[in-house]
Amino acid sequence: MRILYWFKRDLRLKDNRGLIEACKKSQEVIPVFILDQELLQELEGPASRNGFLLDCLRQLNHRLEKKGSRLYGFYGQPERILDRLISELKVEAVYTNRSYSWQGERTQKKVEALCQKKGIIFKDFNDSLLVPPEKIQARKVYSPFFRLWRMALAGEDLSVWPEPDRLQTPELNWPSLAETFRLVSHQTNRYWKPDYAERRLKQYDFKGYDEGRNQLDVDGTSRLSVAIRFGLVSIRQVLARARKSLVMDSQFVKELAWREFWYHIRHHFPWTENLEFQEKRRGLKWLNREEDIRALEEARTGYPLIDAAINQLKGEGWMHNRARLVVASFVTKDLLLDWRIGEKFFKKYLLDYDEVVNTGNWQWSASVGADPRPFRMFNPVIQAQKFDPDCRYIKKYLPELKKLSCRQIHSLELPEYYPPVVDHRAATIRVRQVYLNRA
């Protein structure tokens, strides 16, 4: 049987559930990746997501070549391209790993319908989540979800499958990956290389997670989000590595469960793509001032921690979780910008951008999402004092403040710096009126 294997966010051979199933079923497997024209990043920068993706595909191609195969790359609409390939190659089945995101699921449904129309097999596999969302009853709050998730985990096959021995792929007269990529604007990513993933997984000290995870000035978190997003390592590999040093209820495993919680919410409450989870928080009176949006995008809000975090995001394509929390609170509560504006801003730059996780976190940070908590707002100055006490993070991403003492930075005595776009104290009163009058 001739199988077309459709790679998406699973750019690896090891423990790739769909690919390994395809190789078990048939020796003749044609690996294909389609650059979806709708999903490409609009903006270019030193941490270009397109450039990183191309590097991942090159690495995958190289690994496939060692197995006697190669990766065929296309650019356009997946369902149209697959339609052509299925007919030209007389493919009998399309195998892939299941998409659980809004956009991914929509595309996948079209491809499934196409296969049905053409009378060929379509098979998808759960690869990206430890527990598929449909296996857990709907929960709106994280803690009860976590209890169910923990129990469900016991019933899942969490073993790490070895990569396939060999793949037999026919030689086809199709353009190379490089030729396909010529159609897409991209810069080489200067900060992230795909081979970081396996190295980081091996070397990261999971035992130090609890102590280091909130400190902005140390390399305390795993930084595996990019690897997970592109499927450079499997989620089961991450869990297995963590479990060598940590118990199941450790904070790190809870963070992996947070990722699955947002997929759970997406599955059971699919209308949250654009709409607030909490009904009482719909239609808030956002200010959405153009000058605030510009100050945010140009990292000149006058709050050093916020501006440093934005420079980290725009420069490196990644932002520390503590900084993401503080920025999201500042955007939605101090500036009263609609959470969708923040979501789009992160989408533009994050290498680990994941529409389900990003939307869930932005709604949660804006206090409009699932897992509702009592209303709270971060003070960006106190957060800096706590989590960047020596201003190492701030000075790294705002070198113009290097000569100032940390005391000056923490007390906003910044003679030649931008004045704050908003007074935090006044903002705390204003936001309560906007939010709590509706509660």
**Element holding 122 (H helix, E strand):** strand 121-125
258 or 418, CB closer to ligand FAD? 258
Please state the closest distance from residue 322 (CB atom) to ligand FAD, in A: 8
Burial label for 70, CB within 10 Å (0-12, 13-18, 19+), is: buried
* Cβ–Cβ under 8 Å, residues 160 and 14: yes
Please state the closest distance from residue 98 (CB atom) to ligand FAD, in A: 18
Please state the closest distance from residue 396 (CB atom) to ligand FAD, in A: 17
Please state whether 174 falls in left (phi above 0), alpha (psi between -120 and 50) or beta. Answer: beta
Interface mask toward ligand FAD for 189-228; x: CB under 6 A: ------------------------x-------xxxxx--x
Please state the closest distance from residue 334 (CB atom) to ligand FAD, in A: 14
**Element holding 5 (H helix, E strand):** strand 2-7
Please state the closest distance from residue 117 (CB atom) to ligand FAD, in A: 34
Total residues contacting ligand FAD by CB under 6 A comes to 27
135 or 223, CB closer to ligand FAD? 223
Please state the closest distance from residue 302 (CB atom) to ligand FAD, in A: 21
Kind of pairing between the strands at 72-76 and 28-36? parallel
* Cβ–Cβ under 8 Å, residues 409 and 391: yes
Interface pick for ligand FAD out of 21, 127, 316, 352 (rule CB under 6 A)? 352
25 or 223, CB closer to ligand FAD? 223
Span from 131-139, 146-154, 304-312, 347-355 in contact with ligand FAD (CB under 6 A):
347-355
Residue 12 interacting with ligand FAD (CB under 6 A): no
Query: Which stretches of 269-399 are DSSP H helices?
Result: 290-297, 304-316, 321-329, 339-349, 355-365, 380-387, 392-397
Interface pick for ligand FAD out of 350, 404, 422, 427 (rule CB under 6 A)? 350
* Cβ–Cβ under 8 Å, residues 262 and 40: no
Please state the closest distance from residue 345 (CB atom) to ligand FAD, in A: 10
**3 state DSSP class of 354:** coil
**3 state DSSP class of 232:** coil
As given in the structure block, the two tokens for residue 152 are: 């469900």
**3 state DSSP class of 80:** helix
> Distance between CA 285 and CA 435 in Å, rounded?
8
Please state the closest distance from residue 54 (CB atom) to ligand FAD, in A: 20
Helices 235-245, 196-203: axis angle to 10 degrees equals 20
Residue 41 interacting with ligand FAD (CB under 6 A): no
Contacts (CB under 6 A) with ligand FAD, residues 240-279: 255-256, 258-259, 262
Q: Which residues bind ligand FAD (CB under 6 A)?
A: 213, 221-225, 228-229, 255-256, 258-259, 262, 321, 324-325, 328, 346, 350, 352-354, 357-358, 361-362, 365
